Amino acid sequence: MIQMLQKFKTALLAAGLSSVLALGFAALPGVGQSPEPKPATMHASSASLENWWKNAVYYEIYPRSFQDSNGDGIGDLNGITQRLDYLQKLGVEAIWLSPIYPSPQVDFGYDISDYENIDPQYGTLADFDKLVAEAKKHNIRIIMDMVMNHSSDKHKWFEESRSSRNNPYRNWYVWKDGKGETATDKGQPPNNWQSDFGHSAWEWDEKTRQWYYHKFYKEQPDFNWNNPEVKKAFDDILKFWMNKGVAGFRFDAITTLFEDPNWIDDKEILDKNGKTFLNAYGDVTLDDARTNNLPEVHDVIRHIREVMDSVPPTKFPGRRIMIGETYVPTIKDLLNMYGTKAKPEFELPMDTQLGFINKMDVATFRSKINDAETGLEGNVPLFVFDNHDNPRIDARYGDGVHDDDITRVISTVLFASKDAALFYNGAEIGMKTTPPTRKEDVKDPVGITGWPKDKGRDGERTPMQWDDSEYAGFSTVKPWLPVPPNKSTINVKSEQADPNSLLHWYERLIELKKTNPVFDHGQNIMLNTDNTKVLSWVRKGPGKQAIVVATNFTAEPQTIDLSAKSAGVSGTKLKTVLKSPIASEPASIDKVELPAFGVYIGEVQ
Ligand code: GLC
């Protein structure tokens, strides 16, 4: 169903691991009280701008679906600029923009045909400059998506590369002879490697009679990262955007830059009966260890780090950061993505191990949060629960009855843990996954190949729901993907007016993260570690301050003891900081009652 996730699960296998509650928002003492939360300001509590990114709140925007400003049904840069006030009020400090470069849009921007320009569908370089400048006024940094694994087959480099075997760009991509080729028959691909998007990862090129490798669509040929010219070209691209004032990059598909130089077949993965099995595309499931997470990847990441540090930040002060798309199976693999002090790599490789558990399972959540707390040698985890590649929270964690409350639980884990927090546009209003119902309506090619098992990623890319008008305030014309009918109740405007809305919950949680020193500096210590219904923890210090957090992972009411003595906290009273709307004030610290999927956050006194 979910491509990236399937790969991730495969990696785990390979590693051998085996009644709607109308919750009312309580106006309570402390952070949760203000009905109009103040916009988050630049990290006043962080000592230096160098550290701005560590406890920061990141927001992924899928530009095609965020805001259309010119009435063509497709979101654009000026649309994002128009919504900066909204984002600042929400507390967003950095925006990761999914790709906006010129592209044939086969993979909706992840197939880039010019790395130093803006696709006319999204605007111009001048619009981009305006976005960076206006975002700065809102204390929001811009982070670009950087796709280095592959380009579009329409990029001039690939057009050159495929034009002849002697072309200087030939070696910029991965070309191989096949097996059993004759003068009249192209034979077979060089090996059994598969594309993440289904079927062979090799495409025959008739003109030069060789096969080229593509980890993703055939319109996305992979670069040959053993060629120093490719490296040099990307150094220049990174510098180009840094000089335009971007605060960093999210490195797409970074683990797949290299392929095993022996070009031997991938192994089949066997099920528990020792049999091979088919994936959603009807292909035998393979372990892609020969094309994923090869050690050479780290040399490139280290090199990028040096390039990033070589250009002083001009337009926006503070460290430029590197976020990694790192679907890796173990905490050890994730730790490797940070590099070492002497040879640093990513500041923020995404921790997908917590965010894509896809089950309200307390023990697994606890163990993954603990992994991040204890297994990353003090590096900052980047927690993330949603993105443009995976069904939204409702489809992975929801029960169809308590989805908003479940999102409150998940967002509490996201914002009240010790982490940098990343979330996807629309999560804050509880947008729901809305996949196409007919194959002929599918836009994401992977949904056509995988139909009906994998309906593709359209369901999580529907237009942002700003209001209840025909096109949800996203556009004045029919958008590129349909607006879900639930826009009449799930939309920014109505949630702004409702003090108990999910949107206000997000605002308050983020405000708490940004303004309370415990959430900036404190330790994260798990409480009640045998409990399988409630996940609870304490954020402790600096100084004596301690805040306890309890989240009910079940549809039944639960009672929990939050005296945090085991964590060295001595207070016996609680002062409520934030709680689910219908949760009652606790009788005492050792008897906190939580409604179905309820959340309680309180300061120990
Ligand atoms: C990343 C992107 C995804 C894209 C793929 C190929 O996983 O998030 O949307 O299709 O890379 O570029």
Q: Which of 196, 252, 371, 403 is catalytic?
A: 252
Quickly state the pLDDT bin for 223 (edges 50, 70, 90).
Answer: very high
At 134 the three-state DSSP class reads: helix
Is 190 among the domain residues?
A: no
Q: Which of 325, 351, 405, 454 is catalytic?
A: 325
511 within 8 A of 523, measured Cβ to Cβ: no
Pocket lining: 5 vs ligand 1, CB cutoff 6 Å: no
Q: Which residues pair with 551 in a beta bridge?
A: 535, 599
Residues 135 and 15 in one domain: yes
What is the pTM (predicted TM-score) of this model? 0.93
The beta-carbon contacts of 298-302 under 8 Å, at least 24 apart in sequence, are 298/336, 298/339, 298/345, 300/148, 300/225, 300/231, 300/254, 300/257, 301/251, 301/254, 301/337, 301/339, 301/345, 301/346, 302/339, 302/343, 302/344, 302/345
The continuous run of DSSP H or E covering 576 comes out as strand 574-579
Q: Which two tokens stand for residue 199?
A: 């079927």
* For ligand 1, mutation pick of 3, 107, 108 (most atoms within 8 Å of CB): 107
Give pLDDT, residue 490: 98
- Tell me which of 446, 471, 505 is where a domain ends: 505
CA 49 to centroid of ligand 1, rounded, Å: 31
Instruction: Assess whether the C-beta atom of 106 lies below 6 angstroms from ligand 1.
Output: no
Do 501 and 527 fall within a single domain? no
Token digits of residue 77: 């840069």
Per-residue pLDDT at 49: 83
* Residue scoring higher pLDDT (6 or 101): 101
Tell whether 526 and 405 lie within a shared domain. Answer: no
| 110 Cβ inside 6 Å of ligand 1 | yes
User: Mean pLDDT over residues 166-187, rounded?
Assistant: 96
- How much distance in Å is there from the Cα of 386 to the middle of ligand 1? 14
Tell me, what DSSP letter sits at residue 341?
A: S
- Give me the sign of the Cα torsion angle 581, 358, 345, 246: negative
Distance 568 CA to ligand 1 centre (A): 44
Residues contacting 398, CB < 8 A, separation 6+: 406, 407
Same domain, 13 and 107: yes
Q: In which band, very low, low, confident or very high, does the pLDDT at 2 lie, cut at 50, 70 and 90?
A: very low
pLDDT digit string, tens, across residues 398-432:
999 999 999 999 999 999 999 999 999 999 999 99
252 is catalytic: yes
Give 221's pLDDT tier (boundaries 50, 70, 90): very high
Domain membership of residue 57 (yes or no) is yes
Q: Residue 521's pLDDT is what?
A: 80
Query: Looking at residue 565, which CATH number applies to its domain?
Result: 2.60.40.1180
Please check whether residue 490 lies inside any domain of the structure.
yes
Taking the centre of ligand 1 as the mean of its atom positions, its distance from the CA of residue 277, in whole angstroms, is 24
Chain Cα centroid distance, residue 564: 33
Residues 470 and 534 in one domain: no
Amino acid present at 306:
E
CATH of the domain at 377: 3.20.20.80
- Its domain, for residue 581, covers 522-604
